[in-house]
Amino acid sequence: MNPSTDYATEFAGRIALVTGSASGIGRAVARRLAAGGAAVAIADINETGAQAVADEFRAGGTKAIAVGVDVTDPASVQRAVQATVDQLGALHLAVNNAGIGGPVVPTHRYPQDEWRRVIATNLDGVFYSLQYELPMMLASGGGAIVNMGSSCAINGFAGVAGYAAAKHGVIGLTKTAALEYAARGVRINAIVPGFIETPLLADATDAERAYLVGLHPAGRLGTAEEIAEMAAFLLSDRASFVNGSHHLVDGAYAAQ
């Protein structure tokens, strides 16, 4: 492999699928991959939003499609991966990013239906995505995958039992899949973002936002673009020996 530092062309000829890319981190990741020359499938349960992002990308000269997907439904994920390959030609890169926050209440009051919904979206969704992406990547001669973790993937956070359990699971899934496919040309890593300014935090009150900012020695929340840079690195040939690990982008949050 010849690592390239030409950021405008490093993903030329690569085809990428990003789940949850109608908004926030996923959209920023998709935009960064497109800026590097990738063709991109914008996959989201919000089909209108996905269409708007794909339209914007196409207007900028990127080959992009919008794909409706509900990552909690394996048949839907299978269709989305197949649509990507059918319409864009192959699959080389994937970012399994779709996720929800869920309630913030102590474990003994955490609603059981919310538990199922949060696990189904944040953990089952990554599992189903891997199941359908991996065969396509093997057929394409290899690839790279990034799964979206969270600070709650490596530490507890009071009130978010379902979210923390799901995100810890994403790390285990990432490591296991990396072991299984390392010798077959597919690398699988996870990103552990701190709190990032996206619609996921839209419901936070000013006081809650100030609390979250205070958790980060950097003195601010992160941006979706800062996560996208890590995703781009992990998906690029520059990261050819980076595999099966999680990568913090958190303004020193976890260093405390």
Just list the catalytic residues.
163
- Considering only 10, 15, 26, 251, the residue that binds ligand NAI (CB under 6 A) is 26
> Are 151 and 97 in contact, with CB atoms under 8 Å apart?
no
CB of 102 to ligand NAI, least distance (A): 9
Task: Check binding of 18 to ligand NAI (CB under 6 A).
Answer: no
> Are 54 and 65 in contact, with CB atoms under 8 Å apart?
yes
Residue nearer to ligand NAI on the CB measure, 225 or 237: 225
Task: Check binding of 100 to ligand NAI (CB under 6 A).
Answer: yes
H or E element, residue 177: helix 161-181
CB of 9 to ligand NAI, least distance (A): 27
Specify the residue for token string 């990738």. Answer: 38
Task: Check binding of 90 to ligand NAI (CB under 6 A).
Answer: no
From 132, 19, 42, select the one nearest 81 (Cα to Cα). Answer: 132
Residue nearer to ligand NAI on the CB measure, 25 or 85: 25
- Tell me the one-letter amino acid at 171: I
From 93, 106, 123, select the one nearest 21 (Cα to Cα). Answer: 93
CB of 96 to ligand NAI, least distance (A): 8
H or E element, residue 65: strand 64-68
- Considering only 137, 196, 215, 230, the residue that binds ligand NAI (CB under 6 A) is 196
Task: Check binding of 214 to ligand NAI (CB under 6 A).
Answer: no
Task: Check binding of 80 to ligand NAI (CB under 6 A).
Answer: no
H or E element, residue 93: strand 93-96
Stretch that binds ligand NAI, among 3-11, 22-30, 33-41, 232-240 (CB under 6 A): 22-30
> Are 33 and 232 in contact, with CB atoms under 8 Å apart?
yes
Specify the DSSP class assigned to residue 196.
B
Task: Check binding of 169 to ligand NAI (CB under 6 A).
Answer: no
C-alpha span between 254 and 176 (Å, rounded)? 23
CB of 178 to ligand NAI, least distance (A): 19
CB of 242 to ligand NAI, least distance (A): 19
φ, ψ for residue 91 (rounded to 5)?
-140, 120
- Considering only 10, 33, 44, 248, the residue that binds ligand NAI (CB under 6 A) is 44
Q: Is the dihedral of CA 100, 232, 156, 119 positive or negative?
A: positive
Task: Check binding of 147 to ligand NAI (CB under 6 A).
Answer: no
Specify the residue for token string 């409706």. Answer: 68
Task: Check binding of 98 to ligand NAI (CB under 6 A).
Answer: yes
Residue ranges binding ligand NAI (CB under 6 A): 19-20, 22-26, 44-46, 69-72, 97-100, 121, 148, 150, 193, 195-196, 198-201
